[in-house]
Amino acid sequence: MNVSNQEAAHRAASDAELIAWVDRHDQVLGALPRAELRERGLIGRGTYILLFNSAGELCVHRRMLSKAIYPGYWDVAAGGMVQADESYELSAARELEEELGVSGVPLTPHECFFFDQPDNRLWCAVFSAVWDGPLKLQPEEVLEARFLSISQVMRETTEKPYCPDSLAAFKRYLEGVANVP
């Protein structure tokens, strides 16, 4: 199977995953396939893990072109949809390990907020973690990754396409950190 077939198979499996379906108040209504949630404009749950190194640089990565939303965009957070049988925390740990090969690190929870765009309606849970080890990129989801200073990330977001949902999570994180006494 070549890479494009692997990506297509991964996309089909991803679209069929049962995702937590919630209302505007983040109350669980049931579980639906990811593709159905998206097509019907319903609300799911998502996790966003901001991965820093000990120098304070943020890991940014580029999404595969086969992704259903924001294909080829840069992303400031690892993460994804919360499956029907998962908590936000379990989903965050799973996604961080799947996408970047990072496991066994403490995840610091920050906040949950509602993100609402026509093709992407989510309750978003934001986490952060620190990692100085190697990254093992998931070939079906991540094209490339690198660590950048916060100022470099902010500059790049004006020059390159970045995922708006993870940018919202990142900006909220930065505001929260700035407001800590």
pLDDT of 80-138, one tens digit each? 999 999 999 999 999 999 999 999 999 999 999 999 998 899 999 999 999 999 999 99
The CATH number that applies at residue 173 is 3.90.79.10
Question: How is 152-171 classified by DSSP, letter by letter?
Answer: HHHHHTTTS-B-HHHHHHHH
β-partners of residue 33 are 18
The pair of structure tokens assigned to 13 is 């499996």
CA distance 37 to 151: 35
CA distance 172 to 110: 9
Helix or strand or coil: residue 125? strand
Q: Is 99 annotated as a binding residue?
A: yes
Q: What is the largest CA-CA distance in the chain?
A: 54
Kindly report the length of the chain. 181
In tens, the pLDDT along 12-63 reads 667 778 999 999 999 999 999 999 998 999 999 999 999 999 999 999 999 9
Q: Is 57 annotated as a binding residue?
A: no
Number of domains in the chain: 1
β-partners of residue 122 are 44, 115
Per the structure, the complete domain to which residue 77 belongs is given by 3-178
Cβ-contact 170, 164 below 8 angstroms: no
Could you give the dihedral angle defined by the CA atoms of residues 78, 112, 117 and 17, in that order, rounded to the nearest 10 degrees?
Answer: 60
